[in-house]
Amino acid sequence: MQDEKKTDFKPYIPAEQKPPELTVTAIVLGSLLAVVFGAANAYLGLRVGMTISASIPAAVISMCVTRILLKRNSILESNMVQTIGSAGESVAAAVIFTLPVLFLWTEEGKIDSPRMLGIFLVALCGGMLGVLFMIPLRNTLIVREHGVLPYPEGTACAEVLLAGEKGGTGARAVFTGLGVSAAIKFFVDGLKLIPGVITAPIKALRTELSLEIYPALIGVGYICGPKITSYMFSGGLLGWFVLIPAIVLFGAETTLFPGTEPIGAMYEAGGASAIWSTYIRYIGAGMVASGGILSLIKSAPLIVSTFVAALKGMKDANSASEKRTDQNLGMRLCMCLVLVIMLLLWLLPQVSVSLPAALLIVFFGFFFGAVASRIVGLIGSSNSPVSGMTIATLLFTTLILKSTGNVGMPGMVTAITVCAVVCIVAAIAGDTSQDLKTGFLLGATPKKQQIGEMIGVLASAAVIGAVLVLLNNAWGFGSKELAAPQATMMKMIVEGVMDGNLPWSMVMIGVFLGIVIDILGVPVLAVAIGVYLPLELSAACMIGGLARYLTDRGLGKFRKPNPDGGVLFCSGMIAGEGLVGILMAVLTAGGIADKIDLSGALNIGLPGSLAVLAVLLFAIAKAGTRKAAE
């Protein structure tokens, strides 16, 4: 059936046409966006622990600049701009999860200050491996699974670009969603007039039910649909309504590592969120690890067949005879580049990892690159648990290094370096996967997109080291201004494993929960993501999934389903929040955000949050349906 879908699918630009694609304009504009998105997201991630997917904002900006300002009319050139530009966010997100640990150790006087050249090489090697590992998986995940994996952000990018190409009602739906979302995001996070999270304490169960009202999450849930979002939400319920109450009720008087005070006192001081951040995230990381392993085992035959098919077409003469829309970078070139990068990681003194460590990078990089590529196909890049995969990599790598005698600070620095490269691999592989999906829908040339992704990696890697040094000199990582939550957690884990005091019981509970869920026939990764992420995220996605369920069935005899309109509108919502999120990061970095904060003078509170949610659902219902007479 999947082969039939592949045969039947017709991209927007036929393979026989060859419009401008990888042009000088696309390279320059895309590289500029990669630098801007990378720098802004590095600051945002270090401050609040979250980054913003740049694919859709890059698509909107590229469409506006190339078509409106530069008067160029190639949709594939606009797509190339967003392909290059979106790589910056992925590199930045992965770097800020890991490499600030080196700066923290420098402040403690344990190692010398990391050099910008070393950071550049780590980011560059990881990003290139991420692209290269995704190439042999393209036929499996993008082509053969078309219609199975939704790729919400990749699909949304295509819709944004197509709306700009076609104009008319499609463009109106996208830009209406963009405007509504941008206004809400600015009111919530800019002016701070409305709380972004609705929380209802449930004292009888020692937990709370929470829901974010951000448009992008609801839009992603709508695009993913009710089935996938229900898996995520069930994971959230498992974490917050089963595991947290059990821990608090049965261990109220117990001090359980990694906690430093009795669980009951911890709950009284910080609520259910304190229990989640101290214990549940370790369980979620174990579930993500087991889900990734199980997913890879199940996908192994398909992955092997993909490699075999790719190896058969290694010769350039054969690849040249393919249709334009089927051409990838040659497998021989990819394998040679992977070997060269592995040797560079081993031989360059600025990176300084041993040959076994370089082999670990290649092994874990391919594994989590494959897993990340599939996860983003299910739930999008914004909700991909890259940090969970990074934790799993750090655990295994540190254990292996410790068992082979690589202990102390040299072993920990090697573990963080391996972890950083693998984290970048997973982030870039997921981003490449989304971009190749967009190109598949539009009729782009995969080989040119893969080259464009590498250009974006190079541009963002060239500046990310300077960004880290500047931010650390300004405020210092781990400070109130730059909490760097993921990096401080990575530091705790690697030191905990080397010192033998990691909460393995929590991790193994997650591993076996994942196995049980798989035995029941439920997708482990989707549920594990719900456990690992805060409940308000999966709850917001569930609201979007329910909205899709209702609109796809119509709203009575007066309104009939209009799925395309709903997807276009929600694509615009994702784009609007992403653009304003980038703007807020810039305003915050420039010291302007505090000046527009009106929360002290006026805060509408819960009624405002409920009103925003009602407006969003009404707008989605209107866009996702049409009058029966039409």
**pLDDT for 320:** 47
Structure-model confidence comparison of residues 121 and 486, the more confident one: 121
Mean pLDDT of the chain: 84
Percent of the chain with pLDDT over 70: 90
End-to-end CA distance of the chain: 33
Cis status, amide bond into 14, omega within 30 of 0? no
Q: Given a cut of 70, is residue 406 above it in pLDDT?
A: yes
Predicted confidence band at 126 (pLDDT cuts at 50, 70, 90)?
very high
Q: What number is the average pLDDT over the span 561-567? A: 82
CA-nearest of 23, 191, 210, 163 to 575 is: 163
C-alpha to C-alpha distance for 215 and 413, rounded to whole angstroms = 40
HSE-up of residue 102 (Cα within 13 Å, Cβ side): 27
Residues 6+ apart with CB under 8 A from 550: 621
List, for residues 160-180, the tens digit of each pLDDT value.
Answer: 888 777 655 556 787 888 899
DSSP-assigned letters across all residues of 491-538: HHHHHHHHHT---HHHHHHHHHHHHHHHHTT--HHHHHHHHHS-HHHH
Q: What number is the average pLDDT over the span 187-205? A: 89
C-alpha to C-alpha distance for 291 and 522, rounded to whole angstroms = 11
Q: Given a cut of 60, is residue 276 above it in pLDDT?
A: yes
Q: Given a cut of 50, is residue 492 above it in pLDDT?
A: yes
- Decide: residue 423, CB within 10 A, 0-12 exposed, 13-18 middle, 19+ buried: buried
Q: What number is the average pLDDT over the span 437-452? A: 95
Q: What are phi and psi of 267, to 5 degrees?
A: -65, -45
Q: Given a cut of 70, is residue 1 above it in pLDDT?
A: no
**pLDDT for 314:** 46
Selection from 40-49, 299-308, 604-613 with the highest mean pLDDT: 604-613
C-alpha to C-alpha distance for 172 and 166, rounded to whole angstroms = 11
Predicted confidence band at 296 (pLDDT cuts at 50, 70, 90)?
low
C-alpha to C-alpha distance for 30 and 414, rounded to whole angstroms = 33
Structure-model confidence comparison of residues 388 and 179, the more confident one: 179
**pLDDT for 5:** 44
C-alpha to C-alpha distance for 94 and 42, rounded to whole angstroms = 9
Structure-model confidence comparison of residues 349 and 303, the more confident one: 349
**Checking phi first, is residue 413 left (phi over 0); if not, alpha (psi -120 to 50) or beta?**
alpha
Helix axes 75-98, 446-474, angle to 10 degrees: 40
Q: What are phi and psi of 331, to 5 degrees?
A: -65, -35
**pLDDT for 148:** 78
CA-nearest of 47, 127, 131 to 88 is: 127
The lowest-confidence range among 114-123, 348-357, 538-547 is 348-357
**pLDDT for 415:** 92
Residues 6+ apart with CB under 8 A from 309: 139
Which pair of structure tokens corresponds to residue 346? 């081993």
DSSP structure class, residue 188: I
Which pair of structure tokens corresponds to residue 250? 């049965």
Q: What number is the average pLDDT over the span 212-220? A: 87
**pLDDT for 202:** 92
Which pair of structure tokens corresponds to residue 158? 């295509």
**pLDDT for 4:** 39
Q: What number is the average pLDDT over the span 291-314? A: 64
DSSP-assigned letters across all residues of 414-480: HHHHHHHHHHHHHHHHHHHHHHHHHHHHHT--HHHHHHHHHHHHHHHHHHHHHHHHHHHHHT-TTSS
Residue 619's alpha-carbon distances to 51, 344, 544, 556, in angstroms, are 26, 52, 12, 17
**pLDDT for 303:** 60
pTM of the shown model: 0.74
